[in-house]
Structure 1
Amino acid sequence: AVEVNTLLGDVLKHVGCDQSHEQVHYPALLALVSTALTNSPDAQTLFTMNHFQGLLSVFQRDSVSTGDGVTRGVVEALLAHHPGDFTDPTLVQHLLTFCGALHDSINALTTDDEKRQLSLLITSFIHQVNFGNDFEQQLDFYVNARAAFSNLDSVLVSLVQCVCQLAMATWGKIRGMHTGKTAAFVRACSAYCFITVPSLASPVTRLRLYLLSGSVALLNNCLGQGDACMKAAIREVLEVAGTQETITFSQSGEILCPIVANLASALIATPDPPDVSPPLYLLRGLTNAVRTYSWPKDTDLQAMMSISLLHALSAAAQDVLPYHVHSVEGNDTLYGGDPLVKQEAEQLSSVLLQDVLSHIKGLTGIQEKRSGPLTQGLFWFHLYTHSSPVTLYEPQHAYPSVHIPPPPSSSCPPHKPIPPPLPLPPDTLLLLLHIYAHPSAPPSLPPPTPTHAQPPPPPPLPRSLGQKSHPG
């Protein structure tokens, strides 16, 4: 090791004597670095040599040639032979120079496969940089990397994900109790994501990253940044729907429906902005985005997304929301049980329900079989919103002579049923059941059930349960 360090120092001395022609020796110096990394039996010792670090500092980004592939070989050798993560700021800066030279070599003649390989190489380098608990230095590195690799979308996606992970690591360190310094830091992380995402070309990727960034911002109590990300995600729904030039609507449906359902679920726990008057402002925006786009008639995307929104509106209208974000007050606390919330949810749900029913009734002929999944979705929505805890936890109400013990979680408080915000009319429910049971028959309405009809009597009890025991 001492001899190698001495040899590298002699090389640096000869190169330093002729700085005017320093760039002429770059190919030979790169080959020397690659050979030292490949043939070194102990790479960890090589990285501790001061002359090896000095040899790496010779190269400048604007002067490194990438046409012969030596630079890429040096980066691959550095990543392969370096033990563990990169924690030395000087070595990280050298690698950033080499990777920046590879990024600058991309031109109009570069193939997609070469871009993919370079993106994987640079992403691997980014994931290996770890400054431990120095989160500020880690964020500074991500800022420099964004400036260095602005033309590779996959690298930018990795950077946004790394910054979100950095914000969550901060949240884990302080266990959700932010101080003034940590709150400013996570706001800077949220701003980084919000600025970086619009530069991506794919609207699907932008939608997913906006949803991820908004969720992370809300968990860190960055309400302004979280609200901005959620609004941007709602706008991206229309952008994804308008990309039928590159992807088919069947592919768009497979992508959009799960993302819209996740977005609607996130909006349940997202508080409304303080400067808006109608409740459920964000859910109304997502509803308008789904309804205003001109969807093709041969797809069921709008109906499927409308059913997902019906579930979200039903949950958002409850007196107590089914879940909350840590240290963030939900709409149930902000509005304090205001009846305007339920009125708004009922109004939006009625419009969505009419759209779904109109779409189902319009499916005729060979397209009638498509009504099955839609009616099933509405049927399950009706069951979820009208399920009574009595039938689940107290079946002895139906059979008074049979005693069934309650669930083992007796320490939990008793569950009080919440009236559903959107009851389906009986005629509509019967129509849905008829369409689902007979997809090939025309959707005619069965005769309504008389309101004065008595409920059917309970089934007879088994003799062994109905008999009274007598003393011997």
Structure 2
Amino acid sequence: MWSWFTCEGGQSVGYRDVEVRGSGADAAGQTSPRFEPWSQKKAAILAKYSTAEKLSIATSFLSGGEKVVVKTQSSVTDKVKNRLEQLDDFEEGSVREMLNLSQQEYASRIEELHQALRQAWDQDQRVRALKIAIQCSKLLVDTSVVQFYPSKFVLITDILDNFGQLVYQRIHSKAEYLKPGSKVAVPLPVDFTPDQVPESAKETCRNWFFKIASVRELIPRFYVETAILRSYSFLTQREYSRALMRLTGAICGIGDPLVAAYARCYLCRVGMSLAPEAHEHVLENFWHFLLTYPQLERPVVQQLLRQQKLDLSTYLTLYCPALDWILQCVAQGASEGLLDQVLSRCKDQCNSALLLNSVMTAFRPDYVASRALELVGLMRDCDDASFPKHVLLRTLGLCLTLADPPEDQRRQVLSQAWKAISKLRNPGDYLSCAEVWIEYPCKHFTVREVDALLGALVRQLVPDRAYEQHPQQLVRLVERLVRHVSDFGRLCAMEHLLPLLDLLPREGGARLRGCKAQTRDPLVLHALMHVGQALHGSLNALTLEDERRHIAQLLCGFLQRVGFGRDFEAQLAFYVDARAAFSTLDPVLAQLVQDVNLLAMRTRQVVKGHHTRKTAAFVRALHDRSSSVGAGGGTTDGLARLYLNALNLLVALGQEHYLYHLDKVDSNDALYGGDPKFRAQLEQLCGSVLDQLLAHLRVLGESGQVERQARLALELLQRLVVGANLERRPIFALAVSLWGLAHRHAALDHRTSVRCLEFVKQRASRAGNKGPYAELATKLQIPSPV
């Protein structure tokens, strides 16, 4: 669905991401359907935050860990006492550490813990399941491999979410109630109230919270209680807000700023799923994060960075998923006034580029665009070493593709932003910004400003051939440019357009993808049609054949770049206009015939072979249009090509079993397969076609066109080898004569002759090097190249 903003440089960011962040809630406090759910973020986090370092895991439930001892309890008191003893045993020891795990092995161990939790729950071992959840939570204390922490958070919280769901379902299953006037207990409805919950279920719910409250360590106690927070709905309807604020305060006791940030992220995530209308805890978590931000400059953090050989910029990007989620929750249904308040606090307390990027990511693009000039100034004051500045510029550029800044500030915004972009020395960083910002002058200024930016871009990329390392970004930049320039004619006249196009890779997939791009823009089509008519009008009787062929290739390329999607009638109308405009060029007419026939097949594909009256009439119209284009003259190479293909068709019709069939239609293989009269008629037609080809070969020889004669002779020989019966001596003699004719004037490419002879030898080897193919292979000798 939607992609999500990333906080590291050089990575692609979807255009719609800004809009997703800014989407609000309705009056009832329901989450907007455009609010990006956590499930979409998880895969991106796991892919992005990886490590090659060795990991460790401490647990008593894997490979020789804790053994379960099932005791018999004579009373409820003994049962409770035994469970408390199990918790005490867990607190005191039996935890073993597994070292030197790769990232994949670590993820596998986490999944084993997940399976162990489910198995314990299915076996009615509730305390064991709780202990697994607690041990999983304790893994989030460890930051020994800090680059992997965001991915570890995703893996662990998946287990906690499952545990919370199991607890909720357990209590819900025990909460059957009696409807008024009924004596049969029924399950609670979806929208139940605490008044409908029986006291036994409430007692079970309280017991779960009491067990978790007995956990001595803060982080596991916080995470497990947050995981089962949904179960408060069995006790009271007003507990969510108080519990969320209480847990927000508990996070202040976590000393590691990264661990605390992800704890706040988890609390906001659970809070948004349970009570989207409760915003107090979300904003409070963000304010607390701002207060603790100076901790990132403390010696303990600097020591961690030195130990793990990380720079501050890389370390700060680890906060991005947590901070992005918190700010997305803050921006949910927020007003412009809240954005001003957030920017003011960020500026007063830390002026962090990390925070500024997340703020622009989270809030609605029109809010951001109206403050674009202020944001550019804040970027200028940010520390380059703490966070990549090109990411800030790219994020602002993406916002401005979706919303416009005030009209009186547009030129100043472009001037200051491009000045900052020009200072970027890394070509990848520079292109990641230019790719987005090139759309801004196309929308708000003239071609002159766009051309000036293109000139600056070319000058930046040409030294040291820096453009060769970033072909994809260059292609995306050109695509944006073409898509958003309104005056296509003036675009083609730009001074720096061709130098920019020369930077595109001449080989590989990038330029090919650029060539495959189709358009239906009426302005672009009108401009290109005008240019094509001018080229076509320049042809006359004195025009050289090479020039005619070159113009035909250009026009065919233009026709292939026009696509109207599923508007097939508009596509046909365009082809009709093109046939009228380019009527004297046979290759263009042939291209139009193929395009019209392809349109008929696309129509059949859309209706899945079952035409309606409307589509059937449309397909008949397509065939009428294509058949109205006359065939070429009797002495043209086009007609010779047609005869060669006719030979292929006749050979295929002679097969006993066809490769393709139409549904519910009996083909000739079913009607006449093996019939002597049918085969005789096919042979007669083949003879007629062969006579026409031999006559054309004679005409080519008499007119001195020896190169065309040689090519046609060799192609006809290849058809005979594939489909003719060489055991007939006249056919065999004709094949040998065609080989001699093809090489008589040494006008044929040597490699073509080699390929043809190799094919004949392959056919001979299939027959055991016996028969006419083996004899033909000995007769065909390649003259030595001069």
Structure of larger gyration radius: 2
What TM-score do the two structures reach when normalised by structure 1?
0.37
